[in-house]
A and B are shown apart, each in its own frame.
Chain A
Amino acid sequence: QVQLVQSGAELRKPGASVRVSCKASGYTFTSYGINWVRQAPGQGLEYMGWISGYNGNTNYAQKFQGRVTMTRDTATNTAYMDLRSLSSDDTAVYYCARSGGYSYGQYYQGMDVWGQGTTVTVSS
């Protein structure tokens, strides 16, 4: 079945970096994109960005420009999200989610498959 499986929980100190992985299975990885969305405790959903499974093109939310890098490995059907210069405000559950092969518009069609979420805690 179609699924996204994310890496486990992470604990980081302020100023550090974190990498979260998202392994896809059950579909053609290069035909879709992967989005990253986070949710701070008790808060709503926050869009972080998108990466094409086909060519690695990215679309980062302005808030995270310069601090986030999204990559993918087509050999293992895995997407990665690196976030640098962490602060306590980055404590959240991070989700990856599949969408269409474009970062927005006609072929995006919403995020139809979600990972289970990865809890990232930033604390000294």
Chain B
Amino acid sequence: EIVLTQSPGTLSLSPGERATLSCRASQSVSSSYLAWYQQKPGQAPRLLIYDASSRATGIPDRFSGSGSGTDFTLTISRLEPEDFAVYYCQQYGDSMVAFGGGTKVEIQ
């Protein structure tokens, strides 16, 4: 079973700054089948990125995903006030689909 470890646990930044979130897998994720989600309090998650680097429909281009193998990154180029939330990665490269533990991006 692939275990996903997200870091840091909490990221304290100001609006306009760049955010870099990491997702590390315990084994290689097949064909970079990895997604990123954003979740705000009291809301369902929202798909941001799939297949490691493809933006989902309607997602602003300040969100980008990269990586392969065991190391993946979600980058938010310039944080907007609405971007402060919790972010989760998810691997679906094999039948044992799993989420990482999440990274909270908070206002500094």
CB distance from B104 to the nearest CB of A (A): 10
Q: Which of B46, B51, B94, B102 is A104 in contact with, Cβ under 8 Å?
A: B94
Give the size range of B's interface with the partner. Answer: 20 to 34
Q: Would you call the interface of chain A mostly helix, strand, loop, or mixed?
A: loop
Q: Are B50 and A110 in contact (CB under 8 A)?
A: yes
**Residues of A82-117 contacting chain B, CB below 8 A:** 95, 97, 99, 103-106, 108-112, 114-117
Closest Cβ–Cβ distance, residue A15 to chain B (whole Å): 28
On whether the beta carbons of B57 and A112 are closer than 8 Å, the reply is yes
Min Cβ gap A33→B in Å is 11
A112, B56: Cβ atoms under 8 Å? yes
Sample (17) of A-B pairs whose CB atoms are under 8 Å apart: A45-B37, A45-B39, A45-B45, A45-B102, A47-B99, A61-B97, A104-B33, A104-B97, A105-B93, A108-B92, A109-B50, A110-B49, A110-B90, A112-B47, A112-B56, A114-B44, A114-B46
